[in-house]
A and B are shown apart, each in its own frame.
Chain A
C-alpha cells in the first residue's frame, strides 16, 4: 500500500472535491478518493465530520505539499503534509459498501482499491 501511495510524496494538493457521499483529493494528476471520510489532524485539534469546520479544514490543505505517507495495512493510512497537518483514515471501519479508498495515478489509469 505504502509503495503505491508514496507516489504522492512531493506533490502539491491542488483541490478537494465533495461528490455525493465521498471525497476526492486532487494532486495535479493523481487522485485520492476517500469512501471513508478522512480526519484532519493539526497541531491543535482533530477535525472529523462531526466538526462544523471539517470541509473548510480539508480545503485548507490546498497548496500544501505531501511530505510523507504512513501506512499500516488494514489499520490506518496517513497522508502527512509539510505544514504538519495529516489526513488520517481508519481502515478498520467497515462501510456497508466495503471499499475504503481509491488511488488513481492519472486519468484513465488503473485504479488501486482498498
Chain B
C-alpha cells in the first residue's frame, strides 16, 4: 500500500503519511490534498454521459439532454454510493445504508475518553466535509464540537458530532449550533462493528454481531452479546471490552464469555485475573 514520503499537507488522518487514510479501494487523492470518492464520481459522471446521450439519441432538445444528464448523474451517484452503503468507509465499516453520508468508528479509548471516532461525511455536489476526530475527546454520551482538533480538517461550516450512548449513533450537525440540520451518520439497525483500531493501528476484532460500544463504568467500553463464530474465535467469546489504562495496567482488550468472564477467544480457556490483560496489549 502506498504512502507519502512526506506528510500529507492536508493532514486528514492520524497517520499523515498514509495515502487516502489507507483506503485505496474507495478513495483517490490525485493532488495529495484531498481524497475523493473516485468510484462514486466516476459512476456519477458516467451516468450523466449515458443519460444525456440517450436523450440526444431520442431527438431531445437541449433541455431534454440536460434533464437526461442530471437523471443519469443521480443514478450514477446511487450506483457509486452502493459500495459505501454496503461496506462502509474506513475501519469498522459502518455506513448508513442508502445515504451518501458514511461514518465509522476507529480507535477506541485513551486516558478515560472515547477517542478517535473517525467520521467521514461527504456532502456531494456542494461541499465536502472530512470530519476527523482523531484527536477529539469526549466520552460516550457527550458531544464533540468543533470537529477535528489540531486544525486537521477544512470546514466551511463548523460541524459537531454527538455520540449517543445507546446504539452508538453518531449525529453530524452542520451549520450554526442552533437550528442546525442534523443527519444521523450511523443507523444502529443496519450495522455492527467488525473491529476497532487502536491509536497505534492494531485492530481489535469484535465478536460477530456484538452490540456496543457501551460503557463499562471503569474507563473503557465494551461490546457484548455477539458470537466469535466465523471470526476464527470460539463461539463462547461473545464480547470484548477495551479498557483504558488503570493505575496498574496499561490499555488492554479482554474477550468475555456471556457471563463477562475473561476468556481466551481462540482456545476457550478461562483466564486468570492476574494475566488475562495481556491478551491484546498495545
Contact = CB atoms under 8 A, between A and B. Distances in A.
B273 A20 contact: yes
A23 B238 CA distance: 21
Contacts of B247: 94, 98
Contacts of A31: 259-260
A102 B168 CA distance: 23
A29 to B, nearest CB: 10
A114 B217 contact: yes
Contact of A21 (B214, B260, B273, B277): B273
A94 B247 CA distance: 9
B218 A110 contact: no
A76 B194 CA distance: 38
Interface extent on A, as a size class? 20 to 34
Contacts of A22: 272-273
B187 interface: no
Interface in A68-114: 94-99, 102, 104, 107-114
Nearest to B210: A108
B222 interface: yes
B281 to A, nearest CB: 13
A54 interface: no
Contacts of A98: 246-249
Given A96-B248, A108-B239, A19 B270 contact: yes
A4 B246 CA distance: 21
Contacts of B260: 31, 33, 102, 104, 109, 111
B238, B258, B273 — most chain A CB neighbours (10 Å): B273
Nearest to B276: A97
A22 B274 CA distance: 9
Interface string A41-54: 00000000000000
A39 to B, nearest CB: 18
B216 A113 contact: yes
Interface in B244-274: 246-249, 256, 258-261, 270-274
